[in-house]
Amino acid sequence: MELVLPLFSCSSHPYDFYKLIFTSCHGPCRDQVLHIVPETFQQVQHLQHLCSTLLLDLWKPLLPENIWAGEDLHIRVPAPLVQDVKDSLDQHMISYKVLIPDVQELLDQSMPRERSSHRQVPEGYVYTQYHPMEEIYQWMTQIQKSNSELVTQHNLGKTIENRTMYYLKISQPSDRTKKIIWMDCGIHAREWISPAFCQWFVKEILQNYKSDPKISRFLQNLDLYVLPVLNIDGYIYSWEKDRLWRKNRSPHMNGTCYGTDLNRNFNSSWGSIGVSYNCSSEIFCGSGPESEPETRAVAQFIERKKSDILCYLTIHSYGQYILTPYGSTTKPPSNSEELMHVAEKAAAALMGKYGTSYEVGPTSLILYNNSGSSRDWAHMIGIPFSYTFELRDKGTHGFVLPHDQIQPTCEETMLAVTTIIDYVDQKYFPGGAVMLTSGSLGLSLCLSVLLTWTVS
């Protein structure tokens, strides 16, 4: 049987074709994810060649040139090629283990057992399941209605397919300008745990702001802006067509290929490193910086608010990292020591819950080089604290984290995120920044008079 494979994910030559002769699958056909740690330069070269000539989906790292000796490599292999790829690895004496033996089975398990569009939200909303975009839209509307004293819903812009992007603003009423914490989720469609965390975060803040002194304190000084799904079109596509879709859905080359990686599309050293100009690539950076409406919507809004934004958090998966700027250069930002200190505090808080270990550091040093990321861009325009979270796991399930890990992942991540927010609050509002209301002002005047009288 002869199969002609277009060179999609990894090739820089989108119009070449590679003919592979293979026998039909032995036993049931299923995509698999292989875990490889190449030991020599020759093994690295062979793996790069495999990726560049076959339809292999690199999960970690994202580019063949970022395959290094001694570093983890996770590749999804299409079912018809599994045996041939394994034979090739054996011939080159490259050790591997099967990380995910049946990708489709994992995909099936990650889908909710029943669509829940009829259940009431937010009271009946199940935060330990993944939700399609329709339900997330409904949840946002209901969470605003049920918490109108604290939550407002705002239009951020439109997607390439003309869907509305909404963010939630959580703000305690105040007569003064407060500073802002920004958080976005779901910039990459297949990373479903990310929007699940944004929803969990909102729920936890609203349930606990009266009883939790840390949350109560930072809400006096900080407003929280939460964008639950940035890449709405891609997220919907991942539910309806291709669970492992990553990019947005912008058409290119007269509709012959689709999607830009929105986290390579920001105006931070755009297109310089760790990207592809091939529109079929998972890390296609677009036709120019902010070429995509989703990127523009976020960037224009952040630009307008940047003097008030103290912290930019963007939530991804997978790998268990807290990443600091920069991805495009190993030159550290001016406040790198403080960024690292806060990230390490956050990782320690996270680890304290279930023992989950996160690695902390600049993307370019502990992961790979990339340019055009939202995290780098946010720091470059002057937002002092900017972090990427890569949530669970380390590859056992990869982008298809099971339902039963949503709650523990969100619980531990909540501790890390609130640690960062608390640090920012205490740095910029030392001593809790007690607001002088008319009542407290009157009390302080009485105390002042009383103390003066006593001393004299």
DSSP 430: G
Instruction: Report which of 323, 304, 325, 314 is spatially closest to residue 384, judged by C-alpha positions.
Output: 325
- Reported as half-sphere exposure (CB side, CA atoms, 13 A), residue 245 has a value of 22
Q: Distance (Å, rounded) from C-alpha 281 to C-alpha 21? A: 24
Q: What is the DSSP letter of 276?
A: B
The verdict on whether 390 is a catalytic residue reads yes
CA–CA separation, 60 vs 67, rounded Å?
9
Structure tokens given for 334: 């001016």
Torsion angle, CA of 174/175/179/182, rounded to 10 degrees? 50
Distances (CA, A) of 121 to 29, 127, 143, 423: 40, 11, 8, 33
Which of the following is catalytic: 290, 294, 390, 412? 390
DSSP assignment of 250-269, as one string? Answer: -EETTTTEE---GGG-SSSS
From residue 367, alpha-carbon distances to 10, 284, 321, 447 in Å are 18, 19, 9, 56
Cα distances (angstroms) measured from residue 64 to each of 45, 96, 318, 340: 9, 17, 18, 29
Handedness of CA 115, 120, 124, 127 (dihedral sign): positive
Residues labelled catalytic: 390
